[in-house]
Chain A
Amino acid sequence: MTEAATPIPATPAGGHRPAFRLGRFIERIALIFVWILLIAAFGAAMPQAFLNWGNFSIMFASYAPAAVLALAIIVPLTAGDYDLSVGATLTLSSGLIGVLNVWHQMPIGLVLVIAIGVGALVGMVNALFIIYFRIPSLVVTLGTTSLMTGIVQWMTNSSTIGGIDNALVMAVVGGRLFGVPYAFYYAMIVVVAMWYVFDYTPLGRKLLFVGRGREVARLNGIAVDHVRFGALVTSGVLASAAGIIYAGVLGSADPYSGLNFLLPAFAAAFLGATTILPGRFNPWGAIVAVYFLATGITGLTMLGIPLWVTNVFNGGALILAVTISQLTRGREATDIG
């Protein structure tokens, strides 16, 4: 796989004219441009409150769990599998931290290792049914979501657990670098690592090939099942890591709230696939999308606009961005979804 070091164009290569490249460039940066416009608009409306570093640093940190969750799902999505269980895995991870650390007084370091291990286990269980028993990923991960939700309710007695070790809270939101709590940098570490693996390693190429055409990949000698297995385990581990950050941001754990991150995370993943490398799930795109949506919610809330508007904004932004992206590429068939 020596070709791995060469980035694969998002669409089949050949026949590109300069005008087309310009169009593609605009497409790549369109969301970032709209994001800047959005910041400028909110900044003009509220120069004092919105345009200050404190506001952005808090936004960067508090959306870190959502960012890591969006990154978790693009791994199996790139390999062609849906993982709907990431929200439940996040909840399971934060719930485990609450139960083991607060109720059973286990040291936080050990608890975090267990949480990551359980995330990997969830990925393996998903992989077993998806790859070995050949059940569609949508069905399996929907099932494991329900299964985990029930287990978390049982485990936590359906109650919120406060008082998680302050060391975790300090490590996630206590310490700051350039005024931004550490939580954001954890998400950045994941982005950089994923960007490197996706774009500069043979593994990243294999992942993409498997997602684009399993049979073709298999005929090319790629161990398709191993790649899909690895992708599902990675998403389990990353979702668990998102749960750790979530528990650190809140300082508590509850059996329900984490489940609500699933749809925004998927929205960010798909929205992210319209930017940076349009047509491909990509980590930088996902991060831009998460913080684009976060900026919208923060700005609208600051303006005192009712929260239902934020749902309209999220949904509208997603549909609009994906549609524009499709139109600029001449409505070519997409490999996503």
Chain B
Amino acid sequence: MIRHVLGATLVAGAVMAGFTATASADAAADGLAAAKAKLQKYTEKPVFVAPGEAFDAKACAAGKKQLSIPNSSANPFLKGIIDRMKKVGAEVGLEVKEWENQGQPSQWVQGVEYAIRDKYDIIDLISGIDPSTIEPQVKAAKDAGVKVMTSHFYDPSDKQNPLVSSSLTIGFGEIGTVLANWSTVATEGKANILLIVSDEVPPTKPLVAGLKSELAANCPDCKIVQEVNVGVTEWGTKIQPSVQAALQANPDINVVIPIYDSMSQFVVPAVRLTGKTGQVKVATFNGTPFVLDYIQQGTVDMDIGESLDWIAYATIDGHLRDLCGLPVPSALNVPFYIFDKNNAAEAGTPANYDQGYGDAYVEGFRKLWKLQ
């Protein structure tokens, strides 16, 4: 009797184990297929989708002024957006000026006060300035009738500061999902990831949350082996030794994700020194030109980029809609585009910020603004 029961239990156990293994293999295959499907749209040339109704942008912008305050003028990405906004603004008659600063909150305060004194219509806080850090000034601006708007800063899941008139969010969580799905596909569902983050930068939180949840959903066999948090000012001294140490300590790591691509300047030499070039894939976000060059040279595998020019058009569009009382889109709606070895050359050699994304948006916005 006991033998029968034991035998039956063993058979049942084996069958259950078989089922579990099959179920887990099915889950992995389904996840891989889902990841592939989700990646598809980021590999195609971005198409323009109108963010709202057409409106007469020239009439709306006539005689109006916008002061753009970047997180730091030393950041070429932000400087590039503002330079393009000046050009786009000139097309519709909106005067755009940059408040040059070196990333000091005291300088942002001065900028807001200058905008109030000089009777600007819009204060645009670009990428990285949390309105809460200069709240008294934002309130003073609001009281003086100057609309404070943010762009390329909040994730859609963030709670917007109530003093801000409108925000053009960017889907940092969505970027996290793209990084997760790309890692899943690139390793056939077996990614062992080294994640490099900077927790003090606000977009990090939604980005990493998106990455982790998507990985959990689509890749049961993937894992984040180590997560290293490096402050921005320490990228130059800490990233390289950390990556080297992690790759040495965990030889099974096959994907390194520095979530902001400027970090890859220090990841690439670490991968090279540990002799892992080609074995470890590097995936990142931002579309900074030198990293697109790295892809062409074969030291980075993937970079998610956004067109600065497109961001400039979308920002002006959103801000003008707010200024003129039209419904404001909640997001920038600038598509993300994956650069890898197949298309990195389209960004130019050496790469440029705006090349490779197509120019569908230029005509799109011009029509939307009734310029043509």
Contact = CB atoms under 8 A, between A and B. Distances in A.
Are A and B interaction partners?
yes
Interface of A: 46, 49-50, 52, 54-55, 58-59, 61-63, 66, 102, 153, 157-163, 173, 181, 249-252, 254-261, 264, 294, 297-299, 301-302, 304, 306-307, 310
A46 B297 contact: no
Contacts of B237: 66, 257, 260-261, 264
Interface string B236-249: 11101110111011
Given A163-B290, A301-B241, 11 more contacts: A46-B249, A50-B248, A62-B269, A62-B273, A158-B76, A162-B294, A163-B350, A249-B240, A249-B269, A251-B272, A252-B290
B74 interface: yes
A256 B75 CA distance: 11
B262 interface: yes
B204 interface: no
A84 to B, nearest CB: 17
B246 to A, nearest CB: 7
13 contacts: A55-B245, A58-B274, A62-B270, A62-B273, A66-B237, A158-B79, A159-B288, A162-B291, A163-B297, A257-B265, A261-B236, A302-B245, A302-B246
B293 interface: yes
A307 B290 contact: no
A66 B238 CA distance: 12
A-B interface, 10 closest residue pairs, ranked by CB to CB distance from nearest: A257-B236, A162-B290, A301-B245, A49-B249, A302-B249, A302-B245, A159-B76, A158-B74, A260-B237, A160-B290
Nearest to A63: B241
Nearest to A298: B245
A256 B228 CA distance: 21
Interface of B: 74-76, 79, 226, 228-231, 233-238, 240-242, 244-246, 248-250, 262, 265-266, 268-270, 272-275, 288-291, 293-294, 297, 350
Nearest to A169: B272
B268 A61 contact: no
B269 A58 contact: no
Contacts of B270: 62
B76 A62 contact: no
A301 B273 contact: no
Given A258-B236, A261-B236, A62 B244 contact: yes
A231 B158 CA distance: 55
Contact of A307 (B228, B275, B294): B228
Contacts of A163: 290, 293, 297, 350
Given A62-B240, A260-B234, A307-B229, A54 B297 contact: no
B350 A181 contact: no
Given A162-B290, A301-B228, A251 B74 contact: no
Contacts of B75: 158
Name the prevailing secondary structure of the A interface residues. helix
Contacts of A259: 236
Most interface-central of A162, A254, A294 (chain B CB within 10 A): A162
A181 B270 CA distance: 13
B293 A307 contact: no
A163 B300 CA distance: 13
A157 B273 contact: no
Contact of A252 (B244, B249, B265): B265
Contacts of B246: 301-302
Contacts of A62: 240-241, 244, 269-270, 273
Nearest to B268: A251
B272 A173 contact: yes
Contacts of B262: 160, 254
A264 B249 CA distance: 24
B273 A181 contact: yes
B228 A153 contact: no
Contacts of B233: 260
Contact of B269 (A52, A251, A256, A306): A251
A181 B272 CA distance: 11
B82 to A, nearest CB: 13
Contacts of B293: 162-163
B290 A59 contact: no
A123 B175 CA distance: 46
A58 B271 CA distance: 11
B228 A157 contact: no
Nearest to B297: A163
A173 B288 CA distance: 25
B103 to A, nearest CB: 11
A211 B31 CA distance: 68
Nearest to A246: B236
Nearest to B75: A158
A58 B244 contact: yes
Nearest to B79: A158
Given A251-B268, A260-B234, A264-B237, A307 B74 contact: no
A191 B233 CA distance: 29
Interface centre among A50, A252, A254 (most CB of B within 10 A): A252
Nearest to A159: B76
A298 B244 contact: yes
Contacts of A306: 229
Contacts of A158: 74-76, 79
Given A59-B241, A301-B241, A153 B248 contact: no
A173 B231 CA distance: 26
A310 B236 CA distance: 15
Contacts of A249: 240, 269, 273
